[in-house]
C-alpha cells in the first residue's frame, strides 16, 4: 500500500481508499467523540527558539544552519519554554556534537498539513545567503486527521524535499506519528488511525529516500513509550507531546541529523545484533514505520539501508535570550540564542534503503 501511495504521488494518482462504506457511520461518531476530548486542556502557543546555539564553540568555522519545517510537533506546541522545543533541543545537540555554533530557523506552523510545506520552503530559501545546511521536517499528523489524500500528502512532501536538496540542504524527515496512541481515541477508530498513520509514514519514507533524504520513524515514540506514560509524555491537551515527549523524539532524530552532516561514525558493516539490513525501499519503509527511531537511508539503487543508531543523551538546554541579528539591508531582527555555555546534488531514485534500529537506551 505504501508503494502504491508513493507511486500515485509520483505519477499523479488519486486517493487510495482504505474503508468500506459500512464503517463510515461508526467512525464519524468516534471522530466527534475524540474531538470533544482532545484539546480539553489548552496547548500554549509554541515559543520561538530561533537564534544561535553553542556560542561557546565560536571560532573560524561558520555556524551550521539548521532549518525546521512542519506542523505543531516541529513548532513545539505544548511546551512553554523555548529550550523545550524540538528545534532548540536538536540545535543544542548538533552544536555539542559538531563543536560549532548552530543557527536555528523554525518556520513550522501549528495545524499545518503537507500542502503548507511549499510556503515554508519558500521562507527558508528566500535569502540565498542563509540557505540551511540541513533541514528537519516533521509532518503528517494533520494530513491524517483532516483526511488529506495520502497521494497528495506524499507529493507535497517529496516536492519540498526535492526543492531543499536542489538548494544544497541535507534532509531528515520525521515521519507521521502513530495517531492510534492518542488517549481519547477508541476502537475501531484507534485501529484505523494506527493503520493509516503507518501507511502514510511508510509512503513518506519511500518518497523522501527517492529524493535523496533520510527518514526517522516517529511512530512508536508516540507508541509504547507514550501509551505507557500518557501523563508524562503528552501535554495538557492530551494530544501534543510534553517537554519529556519532545526530548524523546529529538533524541531519536539527533543521530541521523549528525550522520547526514558526516558528524556521526559510519560503518560499511551491518550489525545483525541491531537488526540492521539492506532491503528494497518499500520493505524498509514498512519495517521502519513499525518501530520508532528507525532510520532509512538510500543506498545504491534499488536498495536502502535500515539502521538503528544508538541514541545520544541530549545536552541540558538553557533558555535562549534575545540577540540582535542583522538582516539583509542593514535592519536588525531580534533572534534568540542560548547562554554562552552552549547548553542551551545526489537526487537519485533508489528503490532500496538501509535500515538502522535504535538500541533503545541513550548513550551517556
Q: 3-state DSSP call for residue 214?
A: strand
Active site residue 325: no
| Rounded Cα distance, 64 and 100, in Å | 7
CA–CA dist 74, 137 (Å, integer): 7
- Among 135-139, 190-194, 213-217, 283-287, whose mean pLDDT is lowest? 190-194
Residue 8 has pLDDT above 60, yes or no: yes
What does the pLDDT read at residue 19? 43
- How much is the pTM? 0.77
- The single residue of 48, 50, 71, 72 carrying the catalytic annotation is 72
Q: Kindly tell me if the per-residue pLDDT of 171 is higher than 90.
A: yes
Stretch 141-158: mean pLDDT: 88
Catalytic residue among 133, 217, 240, 308: 240
Residue 15 is a catalytic residue = no
What pLDDT does residue 313 have?
59
Q: Is residue 297 pLDDT above 90, yes or no?
A: no
The pLDDT, as a whole number, for residue 123 is: 96
Supply angle C-alpha 219, 221, 224, rounded to 5.
Answer: 100
Active-site residue 103, yes or no? no
d(C-alpha 24, C-alpha 271), whole Å: 45
**Catalytic member of 115, 237, 271, 339:** 237
How far apart are alpha carbons 293 and 291 in whole angstroms? 7
Q: CA dist 71 to 107, 143, 291, 303, 359, Å? A: 9, 10, 22, 30, 28
Q: Flag whether pLDDT at 203 surpasses 50.
A: yes
Report the candidate in 226, 50, 90 with the shortest Cα–Cα distance to residue 235: 226
Residue 69, helix vs strand vs coil: strand
Amino acid at each position: 500500500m505504501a508503494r502504491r501511495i508513493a507511486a500515485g504521488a509520483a505519477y499523479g494518482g488519486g486517493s487510495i481508499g482504505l474503508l468500506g462504506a459500512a464503517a463510515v457511520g461508526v467512525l464519524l461518531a468516534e471522530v466527534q467523540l475524540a474531538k470533544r476530548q482532545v484539546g480539553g486542556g489548552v496547548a500554549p502557543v509554541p515559543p520561538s527558539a530561533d537564534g544561535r546555539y553553542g556560542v561557546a564553540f565560536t571560532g573560524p568555522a561558520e555556524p551550521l544552519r539548521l532549518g525546521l519545517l512542519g506542523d505543531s510537533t516541529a513548532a513545539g506546541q505544548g511546551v512553554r519554554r523555548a529550550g523545550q522545543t524540538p528545534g532548540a533541543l536538536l540545535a543544542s545537540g548538533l552544536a555539542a556534537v559538531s563543536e560549532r555554533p548552530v543557527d536555528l530557523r523554525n518556520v513550522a506552523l501549528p495545524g499545518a498539513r503537507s500542502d503548507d510545506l511549499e510556503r515554508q520552503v519558500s521562507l527558508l530559501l528566500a535569502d540565498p545567503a542563509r540557505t540551511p545546511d540541513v533541514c528537519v521536517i516533521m509532518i503528517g499528523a494533520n494530513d491524517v486527521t483532516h483526511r488529506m489524500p495520502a497521494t497528495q500528502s506524499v507529493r507535497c512532501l517529496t516536492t519540498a524535499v526535492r526543492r531543499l536538496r536542489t538548494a544544497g540542504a541535507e534532509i531528515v524527515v520525521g515521519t507521521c506519528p502513530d495517531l492510534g496512541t492518542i488517549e481519547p481515541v477508541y476502537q475501531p477508530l484507534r485501529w484505523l488511525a494506527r493503520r493509516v498513520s503507518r501507511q502514510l509514514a511508510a509512503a513518506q519514507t519511500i518518497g523522501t529516500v527517492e529524493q535523496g533524504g533520510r527518514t526517522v520513524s516517529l511512530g512508536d515514540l508516540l507508541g509504547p513509550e507514550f501509551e505507557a506514560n500518557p501523563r508524562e509524555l503528552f501535554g495538557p491537551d492530551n494530544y501534543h507531546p510534553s517537554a519529556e515527549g519532545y526530548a524523546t523524539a529529538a533524541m531519536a532524530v539527533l543521530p541521523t541529523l549528525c550522520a547526514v552532516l558526516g558528524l556521526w561514525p559510519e560503518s560499511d558493516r551491518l550489525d545483525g545484533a541491531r537488526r540492521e539490513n539492506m532491503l528494497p525501499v518499500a520493505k524498509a519503509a514498512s519495517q521502519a514505520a513499525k518501530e520508532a527511531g528507525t532510520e532509512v537511508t538510500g543506498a545504491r539503487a534499488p536498495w536502502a539501508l535500515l539502521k538503528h543508531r544508538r541514541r545520544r543523551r541530549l545536552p541540558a538546554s538553557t533558555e535562549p535570550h534575545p540577540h540582535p541579528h542583522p538582516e539583509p539591508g542593514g535592519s536588525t531582527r531580534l533572534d534568540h540564542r542560548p547562554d554562552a555555555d552552549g547548553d542551551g546534488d545526489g537526487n537519485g531514485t533508489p528503490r532500496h534503503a538501509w535500515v538502522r534500529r535504535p538500541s533503545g537506551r541513550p548513550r551517556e
